[in-house]
């Protein structure tokens, strides 16, 4: 395994898609180059951590667990309080990573669901950590949930010469008001489309892509929301968790 360059700690941020079946040859090589993988432990039963364990065991890399910081997930946050809650959570995570790096010398790997470039804060946290510890950060891309969504539904995410808007469930109403007509929505705690004027839009939805509990539903919003809710429950029953996303498209 290669040592860190100079006094800099080398950190490899490795996109793992939805698990071992999505590891690219580049990701496998990156795993072989690190001394340890560090992962946050969110509780006694964390099925997503189990996937990281399986990857590390398969590739012979020790896994170091760091207790995750608590995040304020109360309902009713406005934009300012939501941003403050996330900032506090991130700061606590950076502090825990700092201690973990001090305790485990050598090159370190961080396994990121999907691709590190889509709605993941790992690189932002490493920017903050880099203000304390000189780091050499390398990023290995992974198969994103956007790519998997398009593949499962056999569709192109945008019409010819038309844009694709990617946002979160929290900001979907804002996107609709802005006039977005082709929207991928991520980070859903629940599916809330009532009152947005999208009943006649088309939806391509999927959950837990690549996992045993994978589900997919497509159709007109008003016709399939019940099926989406039922499929969401099935995914949770099988896997113990739900990660879903969907494409919303206005009628032509």
Using alpha carbons, select from 203, 160, 157, 198 the residue that is nearest to residue 179.
198
pLDDT attached to residue 76:
64
- Quote the mean pLDDT of the chain: 93
Residue 48 has pLDDT above 90, yes or no: no
Q: Which pLDDT tens digit goes with each residue over 187-206? A: 998 899 999 999 999 999 99
CB 248 within 8 A of CB 196: no
Binned at pLDDT 50, 70 and 90, residue 165 comes out as very high
Q: Specify the pLDDT at position 206.
A: 98
What is the reported pLDDT for 1?
42
The pLDDT-based confidence of 89 (bands split at 50, 70, 90) is very high
Measured distance CA(190)–CA(205) in Å, rounded: 12
Q: What domains, with CATH codes, occur in the chain?
A: 9-140 (3.40.1010.10), 145-249 (3.30.950.10)
**Tell me, what's the pLDDT at 66?**
95
Per-residue pLDDT band for 167 (boundaries 50, 70, 90) equals very high
Kindly report the pTM of this predicted structure.
0.88
């Amino acid at each position: 395994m290669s040592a860190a360059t100079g006094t800099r700690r080398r950190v490899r941020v490795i996109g793992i898609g939805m698990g071992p079946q999505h590891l690219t040859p580049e990701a496998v090589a990156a795993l072989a180059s690190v001394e340890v993988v560090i992962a946050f432990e969110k509780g006694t039963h964390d099925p997503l951590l189990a996937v990281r364990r399986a990857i590390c065991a398969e590739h012979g890399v020790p896994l170091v667990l760091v207790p995750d910081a608590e995040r304020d997930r109360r309902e009713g946050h406005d934009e300012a309080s939501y941003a403050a809650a996330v900032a506090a959570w991130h700061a606590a995570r950076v502090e825990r990573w700092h201690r973990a790096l001090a305790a485990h010398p050598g090159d370190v790997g961080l396994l990121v669901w999907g691709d590190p470039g889509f709605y993941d804060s790992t690189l932002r946290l490493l920017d903050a950590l880099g203000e304390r510890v000189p780091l050499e950060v390398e990023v290995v891309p992974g198969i994103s949930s956007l790519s998997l969504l398009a593949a499962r539904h056999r569709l192109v995410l945008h019409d010819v010469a038309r844009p694709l808007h990617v946002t979160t469930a929290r900001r979907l109403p804002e996107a609709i008001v802005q006039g977005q007509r082709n929207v991928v929505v991520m980070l859903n705690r629940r599916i809330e489309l009532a009152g947005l004027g999208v009943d006649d839009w088309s939806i391509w939805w999927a959950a837990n892509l690549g996992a045993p509990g994978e589900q997919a539903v497509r159709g007109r919003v008003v016709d399939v929301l019940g099926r989406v809710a039922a499929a969401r429950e099935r995914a949770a029953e099988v896997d113990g968790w739900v990660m879903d996303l969907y494409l919303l498209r206005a009628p032509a």
